[in-house]
Amino acid sequence: MDQQLITKIKNLREYLKITPLSMAQELNMSFNDYQAFESGEYILDDNRLLACFKYLKLDNIYEKYVNISEKNGHLIDIDFINSQHFNFGSVVDLLALKNPVKLALTHVDQNQQRRDFTFLDIKNLSSQAANYFEYLGLKKQDKVLLVLKSAYQLWYIIPALHKLGATIVPSVHMLKKHDFDYRIKAANIKAIISLDDDNILKELSACPSFSQVKTKITINSRKAGWHFFDEEMAKFSSNYEVASVDKDDQMAIFFTSGTTKDPKAVVHSFNYPLSHIITAKYWQNVSKEGLHYTLSDSGWAKFFWGKMYGQWLCESPVFAYDYEGKFVSEDLLKVLEYYQVNSFCAPATIYRMLSKSNLNNYDLSSIKEYTVAGERLSLSDYEQFTNVVNKPIRAGYGMTEAALISANFVNNPNDPTSVGTLNPMYETKIGNFENNLHPKNEGELLIRPKKEVGLALGYLKDGQVISPLQDGYYHTSDNVCYTDNTQKSENTQKVMVILGRTDDLFKSSGYKISPLEIEEALYELPFIAECAIVGITDEKDNIRGNIITAAIHLKDKVEPTPQLITQIQQYVKSQTGSYKYPRKVLFFEEELPKTTSGKISRAAVKKKILS
């Protein structure tokens, strides 16, 4: 028998702390015969070898941590096992033991330089980095600010910090000094690991709290006053004992986009990666032999939905494209075609931009799965894209405080107007933010995890973690309704439709107005590039309260005219209702204001109109 296979089984057995006697009993062998097998003097028959693989969870690594129930291919339920002391750093080591030469990451930088990393590479590099960070004085539960965009080092720096038991604090690179200062103070940052970008380092160095940060590290090149990661970590051992962690230890702090107020610091425990097994397996439908690409900056929780946790737990390689400057649709399409990506996830804004490109010029046949999240994709943009690629885009819904809450899951009918069915990790309740305003199946979505996985520990405030639950539920601030799926299926669950943020809803002439519904109609007009609906109080009109106001950015070479305004108003009336049309239409010469995550900010639009 292949000595490498015997060694792998023995190493896994020891890693999982399974005794030779337990293995012998499981395989219905004598203890002496099993010892002879590990010595290479006894050959296992195929049935026993298969039983050995199954017992060691060699078929699917994620089965070590979850039990999943399916019916006719539909996801029914999930139970978590071994989650109390779960550390994703151990998963990286386990993957390297199982299949050391298997591809883990394909990374392409702005110069089109390609780097491939196997799971053994990630294991060794993350262990070296963990030893290096420990040498610099970092320890368990220290908070580490990461400003790394999609640098290839990120894929072993994060597992390294997990192995150490430290807390990662990812950050987008576009922040200014006051944004960085807010995060350093709020999270009590002990170390910063940053790109060597002079603009980023300038903003960081200008923070009043910067001098309080003990350890400062750059990647790619050496900078005065900073440790140089790439050069210094290479001197350390590639063996590291992963730290033992508890379910209440802090693994990550994600800062929300802060569309209306200061960003919240959302604290997740070390079992957070387990919540994304469903994300990867049943929504993105990743494959062990495929290549998955989620387009997201590493400063957002969405990065962790699609760039590492669930994908590697499902043993799927991931793809990263670290482009610089402004997003160019054609560049992305070339990359998707050339690198034969198999599953692709992106926000609605990206699909909207891609659908405006000449998709027929690119061979995207390698992509079997398209998914979207972050904001609603209009039906017109959906149809424009899917009519060319001839595959559906399956929408999902979640948030920084949780994981994937609902989705158009694999093997369920796809409904492009909804975010599909509920993730079985959660139970939900509809809460009326104005009791007299909503029918029973419409209102604010309240959730709570049925299991011990799937919701943040809470919000970090003044050094304390404040529970996110109110009356036993997390209030999402999203207004939703449930509706029957129009397609017949054995899966009779109702689907969920997002109507908008509760703080975006407003009343006009006594009617409840949901901006999303009107914006959906506006996007059907071929001359509109971007739009947002807000309620503006008119002191001269005390009857209506809020005036429905449309902020519109037109496509190139389209001129704003009174006739165009009339056309817009009449179209919305015909598609929604006579009371929902925008009585004011304002044209913006520039793109509409956006959050740092790329979403149109209605609050910023409203502020700009009022100013």
Q: How much is the average pLDDT of 98-120?
A: 94
**With bands split at pLDDT 50, 70 and 90, how would you rate the model's confidence at 4?**
low
pLDDT greater at residue 333 or residue 440 = 333
Tell me if 218 sits within 8 A of 227, measured CB to CB: yes
Query: What is the token pair recorded at 150?
Result: 């999609």
74, pLDDT greater than 90 = no
**Residue 371 bridge partners (DSSP):** 345, 394
527, pLDDT greater than 60 = yes
Q: Where are the beta strands (DSSP E) in 95-232?
A: 103-109, 114-118, 143-147, 167-170, 191-194, 215-218, 227-228
- Determine the pLDDT at residue 490: 45
Residue 481 to residues 395, 446, 447, 603: CA-CA distances in angstroms? 16, 12, 14, 23
- Determine the pLDDT at residue 596: 66
- Determine the pLDDT at residue 488: 41
- Determine the pLDDT at residue 115: 97
**Residue 537 bridge partners (DSSP):** 546
**With bands split at pLDDT 50, 70 and 90, how would you rate the model's confidence at 261?**
low
Cα distance between residue 510 and residue 465, in whole Å: 40
Which residues are CB-neighbours of 125 under 8 A, at least 6 positions away? 117, 156, 160, 238
435, pLDDT greater than 50 = no
**With bands split at pLDDT 50, 70 and 90, how would you rate the model's confidence at 343?**
very high
48, pLDDT greater than 70 = yes
Number of helices (H), then strands (E), in the chain = 19, 30
Q: Which of 105-114, 473-482, 533-542 has the lowest mean pLDDT?
A: 533-542
- Report which residue type is found at 67: N
Q: Give the distance, in angstroms, between the CA of residue 239 and the centroid of all CA atoms in the same chain.
A: 30
- Report which residue type is found at 58: L
Question: Which of 194-203, 518-527, 568-577 has maximum average pLDDT?
Answer: 194-203
- Determine the pLDDT at residue 440: 53
Query: What is the token pair recorded at 407?
Result: 């989705």
Q: Which of 207-221, 403-417, 502-516, 589-603 has the lowest mean pLDDT?
A: 502-516
**With bands split at pLDDT 50, 70 and 90, how would you rate the model's confidence at 2?**
low
Cα distance between residue 133 and residue 580, in whole Å: 57
Q: How much is the average pLDDT of 36-46?
A: 81
Closest alpha carbon to 422 in 512, 510, 347, 496: 496
Closest alpha carbon to 409 in 420, 424, 425: 420
Query: What is the token pair recorded at 611?
Result: 């100013």
pLDDT greater at residue 356 or residue 402 = 402
- Phi, psi of 422, deg, nearest 5: -70, 140
- Which ranges of 244-322 would DSSP assign to H, the alpha helix? 276-278, 301-306, 309-313
Closest alpha carbon to 155 in 113, 103, 196: 103
Tell me if 584 sits within 8 A of 544, measured CB to CB: no
- Determine the pLDDT at residue 437: 40
Angle at 431 (CA atoms; ends 430, 432), nearest 5 degrees? 120
- Determine the pLDDT at residue 29: 85
Cα distance between residue 151 and residue 153, in whole Å: 5
Q: Which of 289-293, 506-510, 537-541, 553-557 has the lowest mean pLDDT?
A: 537-541
When the pLDDT of each residue in the chain is averaged and rounded to a whole number, the result is: 88
Q: Which of 144-148, 365-369, 449-453 has the lowest mean pLDDT?
A: 449-453
Cα distance between residue 89 and residue 93, in whole Å: 7
% pLDDT > 70, the chain = 92
**With bands split at pLDDT 50, 70 and 90, how would you rate the model's confidence at 211?**
very high
pLDDT digits (tens, 9 = 90+) for 534-547: 998 876 655 567 88
Angle at 79 (CA atoms; ends 75, 85), nearest 5 degrees? 140
**Residue 345, H or E segment:** strand 343-346
Q: Which domains does the chain have, with CATH numbers?
A: 3-59 (1.10.260.40), 61-86+273-503 (3.40.50.12780), 504-610 (3.30.300.30)
Query: What is the token pair recorded at 420?
Result: 């599909």
**With bands split at pLDDT 50, 70 and 90, how would you rate the model's confidence at 487?**
very low
- Which ranges of 112-167 would DSSP assign to H, the alpha helix? 119-135, 154-164
Q: How far apart are the first and last CA of the chain?
A: 77
- Determine the pLDDT at residue 436: 38
pLDDT digits (tens, 9 = 90+) for 379-417: 888 999 999 999 999 999 999 999 999 999 999 989 998
Q: Which residues of 366-375 are buried (b: 16+ CB within 10 A; e: fewer)?
A: bbebbbbbbb
CA torsion angle for 270, 275, 281, 285 (degrees, to 10)?
A: -100
Residue 562 to residues 382, 529, 552, 567, 585: CA-CA distances in angstroms? 29, 18, 14, 9, 10
- Determine the pLDDT at residue 317: 98
- Phi, psi of 286, deg, nearest 5: -70, 160
Q: Which of 59-68, 185-194, 457-466, 590-599 has the lowest mean pLDDT?
A: 590-599
